[in-house]
Amino acid sequence: MIRINLLPQKKTIRRRGEAGDSSPEAGSQAWMAFVLGAVLLEVIVLLFVYKTKQDQLVQVQKHNQELTANIDGIKREIANHADIKAQLKELRDREEAIQKLQSARTGPTATMLELSRIMTTGRGPTIDRDKLEQLKRDNPTAVPNANWDPRRLWLTSYKEQERVVRLGGLARDGEDVSEFLRRLSLSDYFYEVKLLPAQKSVDATSKLELVKFEMSAKVRY
């Protein structure tokens, strides 16, 4: 009869059982450490995100404050908009008045003054001095006659429309008409001066034979 001792095997089984009993406890501790690490990491991420959003909020608030300051400044500037608008209107009215005065000085009034100079003894048309000297050398007959008596010619009509003038008058003879035409053509205020057909007539009062003439010209001012 064979006898087998089983006691060592029971101890081995018991030790294995003890080892098996300790494995779940170690796994539970590892899982707990993992969960705590994940929670800690999540907290760190949330803190980072919160800090980023907080910085963005500060920047937005700062930008809003700058916009508010700009708006307040604009409101202060336009607070007296009505007064500024009234001042601008007054300045524009003054400018228009000055322009009208200048236009009057350089417009029809200037041409009338030029006619007065042309028909004044000892005076003549407005012309550049160098141009006049050159004309004396090139064509002396085209230069105004300094001895001409303007009282031998007088104007009876003057009409202007769109800077085109038509004037008429009476003269003692054809030479007076030619002298007036010469002076008018040399003036800086008149150009394209044309003599229209003239005719002789007898003045009813003085019984003198006169030349009735008409001229057309363009004016610059």
The pLDDT of residue 63 is 86
pLDDT band at 75 (very low <50, low <70, confident <90, very high): confident
Are β-strands 199-202 and 190-195 bridged in parallel, bridged antiparallel, or unpaired?
unpaired
Q: Is residue 198 part of a domain?
A: yes
Q: Is residue 17 part of a domain?
A: no
DSSP-derived secondary structure letter, 78: T
The pLDDT of residue 18 is 47
The pLDDT of residue 69 is 86
Most confident of 61-65, 88-92, 212-216: 212-216
CATH at residue 151: 3.30.1360.100
* pLDDT tens digit sequence for 156-191: 999 998 889 999 999 999 999 999 999 999 999 999
Average pLDDT taken over every residue of the chain:
82
The tokens of 75 are what?
Answer: 């409101």
Q: Is residue 34 part of a domain?
A: no
The pLDDT of residue 24 is 64
Q: Is residue 96 part of a domain?
A: yes
Q: Is residue 24 part of a domain?
A: no
Q: Is residue 137 part of a domain?
A: yes
Q: Distance between CA atoms of 33 and 45, rounded to whole angstroms?
A: 18
The pLDDT of residue 14 is 46
Q: Please report the sign of the dihedral spanned by the C-alpha atoms of residue 91, residue 92, residue 94, residue 95.
A: positive
Q: Distance between CA atoms of 72 and 84, rounded to whole angstroms?
A: 18
pTM of the model: 0.52
Q: Distance between CA atoms of 142 and 72, rounded to whole angstroms?
A: 74
Query: What does residue 144 show for φ and ψ, rounded to 5 degrees?
Result: -60, 145
DSSP-derived secondary structure letter, 161: E
Q: Is residue 44 part of a domain?
A: yes
The pLDDT of residue 103 is 60
CB distance 211 to 172 below 8 Å: yes
Q: Distance between CA atoms of 190 and 177, rounded to whole angstroms?
A: 16
The pLDDT of residue 62 is 87
pLDDT band at 23 (very low <50, low <70, confident <90, very high): low
Structural domains counted in the chain: 1
Can you tell me whether residue 154 is helix, strand or coil? strand
Three state DSSP letters for 23-60: HHHHHHHHHHHHHHHHHHHHHHHHHHHHHHHHHHHHHH
The pLDDT of residue 100 is 67
Query: What does residue 92 show for φ and ψ, rounded to 5 degrees?
Result: -65, -40
Residue-range definition of the domain harbouring residue 74 = 39-220
Is the pLDDT at 15 greater than 60? The verdict is: no
Q: Is residue 29 part of a domain?
A: no
